[in-house]
Amino acid sequence: MAGRARKIILLSHCLLNVNSKVEGKNPYSSIQKELVKLLMDKDYAIIQLPCPEITHFGVRRWAHVRDQFDFPIFRRHCRKIFKPVLHQIEDYLHNGYDISGIIWVEGSPCCGLNLVTKGENWKGVQNEESYAKLLKETEKIKGKGIYVQEVEKLLEKHNVTLDFYALNEKQPELLLKELEAKL
């Protein structure tokens, strides 16, 4: 019987379950199988992080920008859902397992690592016209999503250091190359 590789990597929830994303197309259709295959070929076991959006706002939510998630109760929610995972990470590390890092989702208001979606006026009741106007006013800016920020703080508080990666839906090949080189 083969031994276990004792290597683990964590993924943003929707990278394994695209149904958690806001209704629409599957932005990962070309990349999902390749990503999972690469990780499995390298003998990684995968832990799926809980999705902060679907566990707070459900399947029928609208698309949000980071400004809307930046409020205390939502930040507390992010910490609350991550804590059970954090304690598993600590236990694995304590017992000699290798946790290689977390793969986030670039551009997400929660899971963006270097890029997030911003829109200061994105609030209130919308009609088709105002929604289209607001869409034009959103922009991708450099910065971290709310979930990433809260996870980072908790990891630091518990003296856990993990590498962070992110999938950019527009350039998925970059992540594959990075993982191929580093894992």
Q: Applying CB under 6 A, which residues contact ligand SF4?
A: 12-14, 20-21, 51-53, 105, 108, 110-111
DSSP readout, 10-47? EE-HHHH-GGGSSSS--TTTTTHHHHHHHHHHTT-EEE
Closest contact distance (angstroms) between CB of 84 and ligand SF4 is: 16
Q: What is the 3-state secondary structure (H, E, C) of 41-86?
A: HCCCEEEECCCCCHHHHCCCCCCCCHHHHCCHHHHHHHHHHHHHHH
Closest contact distance (angstroms) between CB of 110 and ligand SF4 is: 4
Closest contact distance (angstroms) between CB of 170 and ligand SF4 is: 15
Give which of 169, 39, 33, 56 is closest to 102, Cα–Cα: 39
Nearer Cβ to ligand SF4, position 97 or 114? 114
Closest contact distance (angstroms) between CB of 53 and ligand SF4 is: 4
Nearer Cβ to ligand SF4, position 12 or 100? 12
Nearer Cβ to ligand SF4, position 8 or 103? 103
Q: CA 154 to CA 170: how far, in whole Å?
A: 30
Work out the angle at residue 52's Cα, subtended by the Cα atoms of residues 47 and 53, and round it to the nearest 5 degrees: 130
Nearer Cβ to ligand SF4, position 44 or 82? 82
